[in-house]
Chain A
């Protein structure tokens, strides 16, 4: 069965712009989580959606937002981009967002210039 698909794989944006990243989870998975990975801060949790509702949120500014659609696909939006937003953004899907485990996509590499 298909894995977690993230699009696009690479993105270059200018400071001040906004960006939308997409994640299609494994079929049947209802939980989608987003993580930011940077060399300095490592892997940090952004937010988790389950059945179109945000259940959990990490410690990121309001510029970072997300949503989940009825087919469980999720989007993440970052507004007013800053240089520090340059990172690998990883999406993880899970049946229930708990012990069943999380399957990660290959990520979207965002570069802000």
Chain B
């Protein structure tokens, strides 16, 4: 069975500081991994995804994530936080072939302090 754990339901960083949002997954087969961002009263916007190939994935808005199979992790980072990064972030995993669906973590709300 697949599952996703996001450590820290709330993370606060100062503007300009490093953003690190943690995600660990559980999967019996190689997964596809995703990070989504959700702004208030909005749907989910894809930040980046890992399917195969290079384990360091670059996404939109300066975010990147590294797939570490040995640690079953897919942490999201951004070198310098901006006020506009304040939102809720969701890590998700998709496994298998054919009919797929996303298993989401519980989300991490990021607050950026000016």
Give the interface of A toward B (CB within 8 A).
4, 6, 33, 35, 42-45, 48, 50, 55-56, 58, 90, 92, 97-99, 101-107, 109
Contact A99 B32 (CB under 8 A): yes
Residues of A within 8 A of B63 (CB): none
Asked whether B42 is an interface residue with its Cβ less than 8 Å from the other chain, the reply is: yes
How far apart are the CA atoms of A34 and B104 in the complex, in Å?
A: 13
User: What residue in chain A is nearest B48 (Cβ atoms)?
Assistant: A101
Give B contacts to A, CB under 8 Å.
32, 34, 36, 41-46, 49, 51-52, 90, 92, 94, 97-107
Report the separation of the CA atoms of residues A93 and B102 in the bound assembly, to the nearest whole angstrom: 12
Q: A98-B32, A104-B36, A107-B43 are in contact. Are A43 and B101 (CB under 8 A)?
A: no
Distance of A43 Cα from B94 Cα, bound (Å)? 14
Task: List the 6 closest A-B pairs by CB distance, nearest first.
Answer: A55-B99, A56-B99, A43-B104, A99-B51, A104-B43, A104-B44
Dominant secondary structure of chain A at its interface with chain B = strand
CB < 8 Å A-B pair total? 64
Q: How far in angstroms is the closest Cβ of chain A from B38?
A: 9
Can you show 10 pairs from A to B with CB atoms below 8 A apart? A4-B43, A6-B43, A33-B101, A55-B98, A92-B44, A92-B102, A98-B32, A105-B43, A106-B41, A106-B42
- Set A42, A58, A103: member contacting B101, Cβ < 8 A: A58
Chain B residues in 8 Å Cβ range of A35: 102, 104
Please state if B107 and A98 are interface contacts (CB–CB under 8 Å): no
Q: Which residue from chain A places its CB closest to the CB of B106 in the assembled complex?
A: A42
Q: Is the CB of A56 within 8 A of B107?
A: no
Residues on the A chain within 8 Å of B46, using CB: 101-104
Question: Is the Cβ of B97 less than 8 Å from the Cβ of A98?
Answer: yes
Q: Is the CB of A90 within 8 A of B44?
A: yes
Residues from chain A with a CB closer than 8 A to the CB of B44 are 90, 92, 104
Contact of B94 among A90, A98, A106 (CB under 8 A): A98
